[in-house]
Amino acid sequence: MTTLHRGFILFSAALLAFSANADESNRLAAGHSPVQAEFLQAFIPFCGNAYAATIVEDSAPSPDWDHPLVVHIRDCEDSVVRMPLHVGDDRSRTWVLTLHSGFIDFQHYHLHEDGSPDAVSPYGGQTQSEGTATRQAFPVDQASKTLFLEQGLDVSITNTWTIEFPDDQTMRYQLSRPGRLFVLEVDLIESIPLPPPAWGYSP
């Protein structure tokens, strides 16, 4: 085999490998992560139902949370899950998960009783790794950091939120940052009567 022939073979092999890698990258970029898609699918059996929730850990407890907690897994679309969180009579909060190509976005929407947005809304983060079918972490995004700084909430610019299913009977929501931990668990064993619509939602 001549040097020229051998070089051509090596070049062809490298070109094929590059093309294969490019095709794989394009395929992944064009579609959702199967693991993250499976994570959103985990909400479907509970969709349309409401469940009682309990704070199981809070490093800075507040009387604002001393009320019955209800999570309403209200909407489950192809790539979006919406979950209002009711804190007693306060129906201002909704968690929204949105599946994108390569990541999941998690936002907290806070609306006033008339449906208008709160000054600190929305905020949240996006996954930075594939995660698992039962656990996803959402480090704070740049838009939320900017919002927090504008509103004097500098401490929140290191937030990470986590949603996971530690077992088939529990959904867990966690907020963590240095010096702060808040963990809320949703009991999925048995649904409870639906609450009134969250503020900003129609019946």
DSSP for 155-178 reads GGGG-EEEEEEEETTEEEEEEEET
Same domain, 69 and 134: yes
The string of pLDDT tens digits covering residues 82-112 is 999 999 999 999 999 999 999 999 999 999 9
Task: Please tell me the distance from the alpha carbon of residue 17 to that of residue 184, in angstroms, as a whole number.
Answer: 47
Same domain, 97 and 170: yes
Residues in the chain, pLDDT under 70: 1-30
The model's pTM = 0.84
Same domain, 18 and 99: no
By residue range, what is the domain housing residue 16? 1-30
Same domain, 117 and 133: yes
Same domain, 126 and 178: yes
Task: Please tell me the distance from the alpha carbon of residue 121 to that of residue 183, in angstroms, as a whole number.
Answer: 21
State the pLDDT at residue 32.
87
Q: Considering its fold, how many domains does the chain have in total? A: 2
Same domain, 46 and 140: yes
CB-based burial label for 10 (10 Å; 0-12, 13-18, 19+): exposed
Report CA-CA distances (Å) from 197 to 6, 21, 61, 90, 187. 71, 48, 27, 11, 20
Residue pair 29/127 in contact by the 8 Å Cβ criterion: no
The number of helix segments (H) and strand segments (E) in the chain equals 3, 11
State the pLDDT at residue 171.
98
